[in-house]
Amino acid sequence: MIVSLRMDFQDTDDQQPEQQQIAIYSKWAILAFSIFFSPLIGGILLMINLRSVGFKRPATGILLFSIAYQFVSAAVVVNILKLPANITPQELINNTRLLISFMAYSLVAQIIGGGILAEYFYKKYFPADNYKYKSVWRPLAVILIISLVINFLR
């Protein structure tokens, strides 16, 4: 005697838990934080992105690049403007022409640094646009709190 068992399989796609999509900071967030704050901050956001998807070694490389870029770009701006090593912030503020030049060159350096992070490194590690994006409010709050503490301690 042969018993035939017929099993009806239903499509169980909707019963399986959805794979959680990884959230990262967008390319535009990295670029904006690099321009308005510093390429070091944009690099930290990109490092967080890389770590959240499992790229631990490239994340460290991005952080080291951001730190090196910060120092090199500052040295280039100081050399272009031929600023003396012992200039104080007050002296810089009192010299309007020098202050405007310093801010302009610094902004250009930050745009270049942000562009490298967003257009080269971000596209290298996140070529597809299939990620959910994190809100920028938390890093913005952290930066503002750190800035307030530093200004308060002066």
pLDDT in tens, 27-46: 999 999 999 999 999 999 99
- Say what the pLDDT of residue 20 is: 62
Pinpoint the alpha helices (H) of the chain: 27-36, 39-52, 56-81, 89-94, 96-115, 123-125, 137-153
Looking at the chain, how many residues does it have? 154
Q: Judge whether residue 134 has pLDDT over 80.
A: yes
- Say what the pLDDT of residue 142 is: 94
Distance, in Å, from the CA atom of 142 to the CA atom of 152, rounded to the nearest integer, reads 15
Longest dimension (CA), the chain: 102
Instruction: Share the mean pLDDT of the chain.
Output: 87
The pLDDT of 99-120, averaged and rounded, is 96
The pLDDT of 107-134, averaged and rounded, is 93
pTM (two decimals): 0.81
DSSP character at residue 21: P
- Say what the pLDDT of residue 129 is: 76
- Say what the pLDDT of residue 18 is: 43
Q: For the stretch 124-148, what's the b/e string if a residue is b when 16 or more beta carbons lie within 10 angstroms of its beta carbon? A: ebbeeeebeebebeebbeebeeeee
Half-sphere exposure of 13 toward its Cβ, with a 13 Å CA cutoff? 1
Query: Lowest mean pLDDT: which of 4-13, 61-70, 85-94, 104-113?
Result: 4-13
